[in-house]
Chain A
Amino acid sequence: AQSVTQLGSHVSVSEGALVLLRCNYSSSVPPYLFWYVQYPNQGLQLLLKYTSAATLVKGINGFEAEFKKSETSFHLTKPSAHMSDAAEYFCAVSEEGGSYIPTFGRGTSLIVHP
């Protein structure tokens, strides 16, 4: 069965600092991995996805994530945080050969200080 663990319910950074949001997955088969962002009063939007091509995936708004099979991780990074990055971030996994139902992590709230 697939599952996702997001370490840290809240991450606080200063504007301009590196953003690192952690995601570890569990999957019995090759996974498909996604990061979604949720701004206040909005639905979830796709940031980026990993689908077994390049292990370093670039997404929107300067975010990227690296798939590391040996660490079962898919951490989300951004070199320099902007105030507009403040939002809730969700990691999700679905499985090759599985159902079309991704499993979501608990979410990490990114707080950006001026």
Chain B
Amino acid sequence: EPEVTQTPSHQVTQMGQEVILRCVPISNHLYFYWYRQILGQKVEFLVSFYNNEISEKSEIFDDQFSVERPDGSNFTLKIRSTKLEDSAMYFCASTSGTVNSPLHFGNGTRLTVT
């Protein structure tokens, strides 16, 4: 069964550095998402992406964050200047696009900001 893949599985970075988290969604899916999960807390929506542009974003997704689909397969999340509170598990997800279609998640990237 096709799956969403994320790299790296774990990223350690220093405060103020830029990081790029990478995702390859399922190939025939149309909607792409980033969620994050701070340790012990709920899974929080960051941003959704459709037709090569952001369709919705949460208040968490401020100017430090950006997303790109640079080619036909990759979907990236960039954090421009990381803060300690950005430490979390970041999940990429994709779906075919109907409202009752479940999201397919990657295994996540654990970001640790020191």
Contacts and interface: CB of A to CB of B under 8 A. Distances in A.
Interface stretch (A18-26, A45-53, A69-77, A79-87): A45-53
B94 to A, nearest CB: 11
Contacts of A102: 103
Interface stretch (B13-21, B38-46, B61-69, B76-84): B38-46
Contact of B97 (A51, A97, A100): A100
Interface in B87-114: 91, 93, 95, 97-108
B42 A107 contact: yes
Contact of A100 (B6, B43, B95, B105): B95
13 contacts: A32-B100, A43-B4, A43-B6, A43-B93, A43-B105, A43-B106, A94-B100, A97-B99, A98-B99, A100-B31, A100-B48, A101-B48, A105-B42
Size class of the contact patch on chain A: 20 to 34
B55 interface: yes
Nearest to B42: A106
Q: Count chain B CB atoms within 10 A of each CB in A36, A44, A97 and give the residue with the most.
A: A44
Contacts of B55: 99
A66 interface: no
A101 to B, nearest CB: 6
Nearest to A105: B42
A99 B48 contact: yes
B88 to A, nearest CB: 14
10 nearest interchain CB pairs?
A43-B105, A106-B42, A104-B43, A51-B100, A46-B102, A44-B105, A32-B100, A43-B107, A43-B106, A42-B107
B75 interface: no
B102 A49 contact: yes
A100 B97 CA distance: 7
A44 B42 contact: no
A15 interface: no
Contacts of B44: 104
Contacts of A44: 43, 91, 93, 103, 105
B84 to A, nearest CB: 22
Nearest to A33: B100
